[in-house]
Chains A and B, each alone.
Chain A
Amino acid sequence: AQSVTQLDSHVSVSEGTPVLLRCNYSSSYSPSLFWYVQHPNKGLQLLLKYTSAATLVKGINGFEAEFKKSETSFHLTKPSAHMSDAAEYFCVVSEANQAGTALIFGKGTTLSVSS
């Protein structure tokens, strides 16, 4: 079975400093991996996705993630945090089953950004 582990439940950064949100996964197959963001009292928005093309994936709002198969990691980074980046972030892996695919979510990382 596939699973996702987000290594930090809470990350705090100052505005203008780099962001690193860590994610490890386990998968028996070549996975599809995603990062979703959820702002307070909002739905989920897709930040970026990896589907076996380039290992460095660029997403919206300056975020990017690198797929490292040898480390089974898919960490999310941003060079310079903005106040509007404060939100909860979910690392997600797709699980292919007989009938279709479902998403397996990590437990989430809350990003706080201070001025």
Chain B
Amino acid sequence: NAGVTQTPKFQVLKTGQSMTLQCAQDMNHEYMSWYRQDPGMGLRLIHYSVGAGITDQGEVPNGYNVSRSTTEDFPLRLLSAAPSQTSVYFCASRSGSGYYGYTFGSGTRLTVV
């Protein structure tokens, strides 16, 4: 099925560990972004990309890195996990040809202990 695929769905990390959250889309979308969802906060933008090789910071980028080597993939890296990064992470993509709304992945629930 076409869409945005996120892996893993669940992850527990120890403080200081690093990991990569994977995001892939098969719709040839130019724009991709990462959000984190925390209770009572809605979703906040971490990083976004407007095409392969181009990324930029969102509202809450600290502690996260991204890269966009292909159109399809947009991984999010946690460099040294902290308990404050416990959250649900969503990847989203949209076409660059017009604003038809973003398509969201099903999310990754991350717990840092």
Give me the interface of A with B, judged by CB distance under 8 Å.
9, 32, 34, 36, 42-46, 49, 51, 90, 94, 99-103, 105-108
Binding site for A on B (CB under 8 A): 31, 33, 35, 40-45, 48, 50, 54, 56, 58, 90, 92, 96, 99-102, 104-107
Is A107 in contact with B101, judged by CB distance below 8 angstroms? no
A-B contact count (CB 8 A): 53
* 28 chain-A/chain-B pairs, Cβ below 8 angstroms: A32-B99, A34-B101, A43-B90, A43-B105, A43-B106, A43-B107, A44-B90, A44-B92, A44-B104, A45-B104, A46-B102, A49-B101, A90-B42, A90-B43, A100-B48, A100-B50, A100-B96, A101-B31, A101-B99, A102-B33, A102-B58, A103-B35, A103-B45, A103-B92, A105-B35, A105-B43, A105-B44, A107-B40
B37: min CB distance to chain A, Å:
8
